[in-house]
Amino acid sequence: MFKATLEFKFKDGETARRVLGSIETDNQGFVETRLQEGTLFCFVEAKSVASLRHTLDDLLACADLAQSVILRREK
């Protein structure tokens, strides 16, 4: 089993919650998440390195898009 932990630090808890809300539907069953104030922790497990990489690529792309949309709306 291959594992990875990602830690996303946002300016506040509300931003972290909004990003989590945007990504959790797509990643259900693949990524376990935890919020702690302005930090979103993502825990990923996969049976192969290729599968882990694919899940991480998707997770990072979704988190990047969610953050971009949230920041654009705040302007």
Q: What is the mean pLDDT of the segment spanning 7-27?
A: 91
Query: Per-residue confidence at 75, pLDDT binned at 50, 70, 90?
Result: low
Enumerate the β-bridge partners of residue 34: 41
pLDDT tens digit sequence for 29-50: 889 999 999 999 999 999 999 9
Position 47: which residue type? K
Is the domain defined by 2-74 classed in CATH 3.30.310.50? yes
Give CA separation, 4 vs 7, 9, 14, 62, 66, in Å: 10, 16, 24, 17, 21
Q: Is the pTM of this model over 0.85?
A: yes
The domain segmentation of the chain, as residue ranges, is: 2-74
Position 37: which residue type? E
**What is the pLDDT, as a whole number, of residue 16?**
95
